A and B are shown apart, each in its own frame.
Chain A
Amino acid sequence: DAKTTQPNSMESNEEEPVHLPCNHSTISGTDYIHWYRQLPSQGPEYVIHGLTSNVNNRMASLAIAEDRKSSTLILHRATLRDAAVYYCTQWGFGNEKLTFGTGTRLTIIP
């Protein structure tokens, strides 16, 4: 199964940028990198995904290393509503499932 490694927890000040790292030690050339976040008492919420190039959407940016062994989720201006557990995962053709680790618990300090 795909293996990702994330810090257990991170803190950030409100209205500051947040960079959440992830290592993808077993990623293959055709695996997509996905990020999800989970608020208390809710299911995971899709944040962003990418294959090779950096990606931006209304929620966040995703920076993917050239060798694809690491990725960084960037929240440009953290708000209190961004406090959640963030999961990086991988998805591949022929192995079409998401494999979650324990994620990073992000705390936002007012």
Chain B
Amino acid sequence: DAGVTQSPTHLIKTRGQQVTLRCSPKSGHDTVSWYQQALGQGPQFIFQYYEEEERQRGNFPDRFSGHQFPNYSSELNVNALLLGDSALYLCASSFQGYNGYTFGSGTRLTVV
């Protein structure tokens, strides 16, 4: 089982640019959540997708948007990048959330 796959693993962008991060969930999982983790901090919830709809959203601006495809894979888009968006972006998938989540290894985004 491949688990959760995220791409790319590393990315360097310039302030003001836009970025798209991708996630393939674990086989059998239908829900995808995205988290942002700054250095030395715990992951912060961005949003969650289920049945191709955004089901829940954390305290992040509208510059952060996402999408879920019919095969349950997902994308995270960030527009107008700021230096403060530099972080590890984690994707987590689940089938029944109370049973636990499987996380990917993340995408390290650096904004310069």
Asked if A49 and B105 make an inter-chain contact with CB atoms under 8 angstroms apart, the answer reads: no
Asked if A102 and B98 make an inter-chain contact with CB atoms under 8 angstroms apart, the answer reads: no
The stretch among B14-22, B42-50, B69-77 that forms the contact with chain A is B42-50
Cα–Cα distance between A95 and B55 once the two chains are bound (Å): 10
Interface size class of A (residues with CB under 8 A): 20 to 34
Q: Does B61 lie at the interface of the complex (its beta carbon under 8 Å from any beta carbon of A)? A: no
Q: Does A99 lie at the interface of the complex (its beta carbon under 8 Å from any beta carbon of B)? A: yes
Contact with A along B78-90 (1 / 0, CB 8 A): 0000000000001
Asked if B42 and A45 make an inter-chain contact with CB atoms under 8 angstroms apart, the answer reads: no
Q: How many inter-chain contacts with C-beta < 8 Å in the A-B complex?
A: 57
Asked if B100 and A43 make an inter-chain contact with CB atoms under 8 angstroms apart, the answer reads: no
Residue total for B at the interface (Cβ-Cβ under 8 A) = 26
Contact with B along A43-58 (1 / 0, CB 8 A): 1111001000000000
24 A–B contacts from the bound complex (CB under 8 Å): A32-B98, A41-B105, A43-B4, A44-B92, A44-B101, A45-B103, A46-B100, A46-B101, A46-B103, A49-B99, A49-B100, A91-B98, A95-B56, A96-B31, A96-B48, A96-B56, A97-B56, A98-B33, A98-B92, A98-B101, A100-B43, A100-B44, A102-B42, A103-B42
Q: A36-B101, A43-B90 are in contact. List 17 more A-B contacts (CB 8 A).
A: A34-B100, A42-B105, A44-B90, A44-B101, A44-B103, A45-B103, A46-B100, A93-B98, A95-B56, A96-B55, A96-B56, A97-B33, A98-B43, A98-B101, A100-B42, A102-B40, A102-B41
Task: Give B residues with C-beta under 8 Å from A.
Answer: 4, 31, 33, 35, 40-45, 48, 55-56, 58, 90, 92, 97-106
